[in-house]
């Protein structure tokens, strides 16, 4: 009897270990306000990003990769739920109101870490949260086992700098306030690296590593500012230095994966949460310190420059490096990660993302999405849709626009009058999609226009 019992225990343990070993770790890296052409693998000659370029060389680079919104918090809400955030009214950035129970990711939404936990994963979040200030929105209540974050929409980068209240709140470690100790991008990089090392053995893990860089305030360490001394514009120089720091800290985490022999079976994705921004500078109007070349528009717009982003997917054990040209969207990460974890997406609600792995591996030759949709500023605001190479844009009461992205990635030639049948087809699809969405649940602050307030660019 004892022998049989021991054999049963051994078999159960072996089955459990094998089952866990088959599941990849999942690392989701998100930059904040990164310009489309501001990393080397996208073509930048001005800002070297050797670590991201090395990751790109081991990735499927999705050249038509999108996020579901042109600014911060809504993109993150869609990312963690796999759903167009308009389905649950998260269409604006929440204000920093710890007493408000509506301004944040609705509590009835099921998140990626919640599903992965049910499938045996340890879950962690490092970096920017921006999904609600009330305690019931806290990452530990949304599926994360471990948390080290700036809970608001941004934060000062150097301890002791001045800014508005939201940017000065203490960092949060597992629900306990903790003072900032160093340049914030470095501190987040160290924390993410420590998470990877800490969980190198045992059950698979999911890490949501969300930088707040290179989002304002524009602040960078002296070592990186010196490297970009040839850039004359001080905003552009500091922004470039911040990206270089981000790249260095991505490198820390990748090096930790390599040293602990986890890289082969880690599914890594890298995106920006939206396009690079314009900045309102007092007395100078709008300056574009980010480079979204060759795209039109910037953060806050539903033109390509606001929603099309650098987009990498790496999984050495299953995906060959290369280029994938079909349109994909950040909503896809939800279904992709859950499928590789052996789980099921929630069956009681519409999930808009799809499992990308069969498409990226070449197993599935179809397109992941027949059409993708965007809406900003509510039902009377700005709309966009992409069907194949056709891009539809409509701003408020303005006449609709239509572009062929295959020939006109910069959205410069409006073909609405020349292709009325295409325009009518997409308009009907947008109208049908819009009927499934709801109005924004909270108004949030004014979006898409950074104001020249708070700390200035600073060398340290």
- Residues designated catalytic: 72, 130
Give the closest residue to 400 by CA, choosing from 372, 371, 363, 425: 425
Local structure of residue 207 (DSSP, 8 states): E
Contacts of 418 (CB under 8 A, 6+ apart): none
Q: How far is CA 153 from CA 93, 217, 323, 353, 367, in A?
A: 8, 11, 33, 25, 34
Long-range contacts of the stretch 261-264 (C-beta < 8 A, 24+) = 261/200, 262/25, 262/196, 262/200, 263/316, 264/316, 264/317
Say how far apart CA 238 and CA 458 lie, in whole Å. Answer: 8
Say how far apart CA 163 and CA 217 lie, in whole Å. Answer: 9
Query: Which tokens belong to 369?
Result: 């999405």
Q: Are 207 and 27 in contact (CB under 8 A)?
A: yes
Q: Which residue has the tokens 């990226």?
A: 360
Local structure of residue 247 (DSSP, 8 states): H
């Amino acid at each position: 009897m004892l022998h049989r019992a021991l054999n049963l225990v051994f078999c159960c343990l072996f089955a459990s270990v094998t089952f866990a070993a088959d599941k990849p770790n999942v690392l989701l890296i998100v930059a904040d306000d990164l310009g489309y052409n501001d990393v080397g693998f996208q073509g930048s000659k001005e800002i070297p990003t050797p670590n991201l370029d090395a990751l790109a060389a081991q990735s499927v680079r999705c050249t038509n990769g999108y996020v579901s919104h042109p600014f911060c918090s809504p993109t993150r809400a869609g990312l963690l739920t796999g759903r167009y955030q308009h389905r649950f009214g998260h269409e604006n950035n929440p204000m920093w109101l710890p007493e408000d129970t509506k301004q944040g990711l609705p509590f009835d939404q099921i998140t990626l870490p919640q599903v992965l936990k049910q499938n045996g994963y340890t879950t962690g979040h490092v970096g920017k949260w921006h999904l609600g200030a009330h305690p019931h929105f806290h990452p530990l209540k949304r599926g994360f086992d471990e948390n080290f974050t700036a809970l608001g929409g941004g934060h000062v980068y150097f301890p002791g700098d001045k800014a508005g209240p939201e940017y000065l709140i203490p960092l949060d470690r597992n629900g306990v306030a903790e003072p900032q100790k160093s340049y914030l991008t470095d501190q987040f990089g160290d924390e993410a690296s420590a998470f990877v090392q800490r969980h190198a053995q045992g059950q698979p893990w999911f890490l949501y590593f969300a930088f707040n860089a290179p989002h304002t305030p524009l602040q960078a360490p002296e070592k990186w500012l010196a490297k970009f001394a040839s850039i004359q514009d001080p905003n552009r120089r500091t922004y470039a230095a911040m990206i270089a720091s981000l790249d260095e800290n991505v490198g820390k985490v990748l090096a930790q994966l390599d040293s602990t022999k986890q890289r082969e079976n880690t599914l890594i994705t890298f995106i920006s949460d939206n396009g690079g921004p314009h900045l309102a500078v007092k007395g100078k109007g709008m300056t574009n310190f980010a480079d979204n070349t060759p795209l039109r528009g910037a953060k806050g717009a539903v033109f390509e420059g606001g929603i099309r982003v650098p987009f990498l997917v790496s999984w050495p054990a299953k995906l060959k490096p290369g280029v994938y040209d079909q349109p994909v969207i950040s909503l896809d990460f939800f279904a992709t990660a859950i499928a590789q974890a052996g789980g099921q997406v929630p069956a009681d609600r519409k999930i808009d993302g799809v499992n990308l792995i069969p498409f990226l591996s070449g197993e599935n030759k179809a397109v992941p999405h027949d059409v993708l949709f965007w809406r900003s500023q509510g039902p009377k605001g700005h709309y966009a849709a992409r069907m194949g190479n056709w891009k539809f844009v409509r701003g408020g009461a303005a006449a609709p626009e239509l572009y062929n992205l295959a020939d006109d990635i910069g959205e410069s030639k409006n073909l609405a009058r020349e292709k009325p049948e295409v325009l009518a087809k997409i308009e009907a699809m947008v109208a049908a999609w819009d009927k499934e969405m709801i109005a924004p649940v909270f108004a949030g602050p004014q979006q898409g226009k950074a104001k020249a307030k708070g700390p200035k660019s600073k060398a340290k």
